[in-house]
Structure 1
Amino acid sequence: MKKSTFGTIFTLLKTTFIKWWNRDPFSQSEIIAYNAIFSLPGLLVVVLAIAGYFFGSDAVSGKLHSEVSQTMGADTADQIQNMVLIANKSKDSVWATLLGIAIIIFGATRVFVQFQKSLNTIWEVKESSTKSGIWSFLKTRIFSFGLIVSIAFLLLISLIVSSLLSVFSSWVVQNWSESLLIIFKMFSFVFSLSIIAVLFALMFKLLPDTKIRWRTVWIGAFITSLLFAIGKSGLALYFGKADPGSGYGAASSIILILLWTTYSSLIVFFGAEFTKVYSDFYFGNKPATKNAVKNKERVE
């Protein structure tokens, strides 16, 4: 007898949770959080530089400050802004500048390389012996940098649309009715959710060393973006009420960044696991690409 839609969804979610839990996602998320601390300044410098070139650095920095303030508070937002200023500080010579740029790019790509390793674990693939050496290392970094450029492009689109919505909503309030603002807020939420879904789709499709159907990727990305939006609101409420970084003094901002990255990574790994479970459920196991081999070790 064919399962109902709700029965299928329950089975998928139950299987996802069991597999996600058995892979010890907390350890993986802590590794991501650790790498994110070192990657964050470089990552933000690159993203803000690319998006700021088209839209203005002040506007992009203001958008970043606003987003961080809503989740982790103004103090943490100020701290992150200072990190970017220090990382972006001009050097005394051309060679020092080039070295600084190389270090920034290396740091910015570090967290995506770690995400790739974690996603390969979820998809039960591992790098083959031929995928090693300096050239492979450089290709991985270049690929990760390309993903960062994509993030900057998505941020640019988000800023443009957000600005247009802000101007248009002000015009509507002045000339029509404030009740129409609800429609604009709903549209803004859906648009933000779509931007996040595209980002997750790029990660789920491009980072793992195995072929994944776009249909599977989009479903997994949508589920992950929805969970991410809910988790973001939950974390903002938790940070606002509990203030978990209050007992760490000057290091409170770093603690909040670590906590936010850890919790967010848990959600991303759950979404990636759901994508894998969905793919296995409807399409069966997919063979790995030539750049990876099946990982036969069972994750307990």
Structure 2
Amino acid sequence: MKIFKMLKTALLKWYDRDPFREGAIIAYYAIFSLPGLMVLVITLAGYFFGADAVSGQLNSQISDAVGEDSAKMIQTVVKSSMESKDSLWATLLGIGTIILGATAVFAQFQKSINNIWEVETSTDKSGIWLFVKSRLFSFGLIVTIAFLLLVSLLISSLLTAFSDWMERYISHSLMVIFVVIDFALSLGITTVLFAMMFKILPDAKIKWKSVWIGALITAILFEIGKFALGLYFGNADPASGYGAAGSIILILLWTSYSSMIVFYGAEFTKVYSDEHFGEAPPSEHAVKFKVDKRILERSHN
């Protein structure tokens, strides 16, 4: 089938672009961006749902991914940042640093995904405005994450309340239906997030209808990868030899592996888009660049 051929082509291109290096770069940026990113998400989503509820949901997700110790370490850093009682200027400087740090990982994601779409910012049109624009896009994605988290929290709360009420009227075995619904909604929200990343981040004119299949595949792989990494970290304990730095090592490993999954999804989206809608042209402030012949030769074998 054509879909399997596209999956294979995407895999070959993904491998030839050195995903391990790209994943390591994202992990490096993420370790510095994560506290700031969480502060922004908690602040934005917490305005509607309560900071404690949002913080608890995020800590639960992080704990499931990399363990309780790493989650507690991040929680301590975030709590320290949010409870700071410095002067006004120090607070403003801190807010600016948090925003800059939180958007850095998305800016690096944009560079990596631009490489997949074979576009780069034109040197004739680059400058401070493009830097600001890039960070505004990244901040916009953070706001979107906060909104999607808010929706996820609201839906999960409603499902929990409804399932508790229904448990009095239906058998316990049928309660699995609510678990399936919760998972499907979570998968749908993750798909929307990846679709927005694949559509907005690249400096290319990509059609919305070309990103949804890739976003869904990425979301499915991401959920599978999250489960597999949880088992691996729980049983193999790869950070046991690093002592106090073990929590940081787990975060680096999880971010690196997860980034590679996202890059494969972006690669498949590019292959799917080229196959069904033709090559996407670069945006007004970007240009195409020449691809390594190695990638082209292997992807056609």
TM-score by length of 1: 0.95
Query: 1:237 and 2:256 equivalent?
Result: no
Distance 2:269 2:293 in 1: 17
Preserved contact between residue 87 and residue 104 of structure 1 (Cα < 8 Å): no
Query: 1:12 and 2:6 equivalent?
Result: yes
Alpha-carbon distance change, 268 to 299 in structure 1, aligned in 2, over 3 angstroms: farther
Preserved contact between residue 106 and residue 138 of structure 2 (Cα < 8 Å): yes
Is the partner of 1:95 in helix, strand or coil? helix
Aligned residue in 2 for 1:41: 35
Is the partner of 2:25 in helix, strand or coil? helix
Aligned residue in 1 for 2:128: 134
Shift of 1:299: 6.4
Runs of 4+ in 1 over 3 A off after TM superposition: none
Within 5 Å, give how 1:147-186 maps onto structure 2.
Answer: 147-186=141-180
Amino acid at match of 2:82: N
Shift of 1:110: 0.1
- Structure 2, unaligned stretches of length 5 or more? 295-301
Distance 1:286 1:51 in 2: 34
Shift of 1:90: 2.0
Is the partner of 1:126 in helix, strand or coil? strand
Is the partner of 2:47 in helix, strand or coil? helix
Is the partner of 2:168 in helix, strand or coil? helix
Aligned residue in 1 for 2:24: 30
Query: 1:106 and 2:94 equivalent?
Result: no
Distance 2:128 2:254 in 1: 33
Within 5 Å, give how 1:187-202 maps onto structure 2.
Answer: 187-202=181-196
Distance 1:42 1:299 in 2: 40
Distance 2:5 2:219 in 1: 20
Distance 1:200 1:220 in 2: 8
Alpha-carbon distance change, 299 to 169 in structure 1, aligned in 2, over 3 angstroms: farther
Shift of 1:85: 1.3
Shift of 1:121: 0.2
Shift of 1:272: 0.2
TM-score by length of 2: 0.95
Aligned residue in 1 for 2:272: 278
Preserved contact between residue 172 and residue 178 of structure 1 (Cα < 8 Å): no
Preserved contact between residue 126 and residue 285 of structure 2 (Cα < 8 Å): no
Task: Give percent identity, aligned residues only.
Answer: 63
Preserved contact between residue 220 and residue 275 of structure 1 (Cα < 8 Å): yes
1:33-92 per-residue CA deviation (whole Å, 9 max, x = no partner) reads 000011111100000111111111111111112112222111111111012112223242
1:239-281 per-residue CA deviation (whole Å, 9 max, x = no partner) reads 1110111111111110000000000001000000000011111
Query: 1:80 and 2:74 equivalent?
Result: yes
Aligned residue in 2 for 1:52: 46
Aligned residue in 1 for 2:257: 263
Is the partner of 1:69 in helix, strand or coil? helix
Is the partner of 1:175 in helix, strand or coil? coil
Preserved contact between residue 119 and residue 272 of structure 1 (Cα < 8 Å): yes
Amino acid at match of 1:123: W
Give the number of equivalent residue pairs.
294
Distance 2:4 2:199 in 1: 25
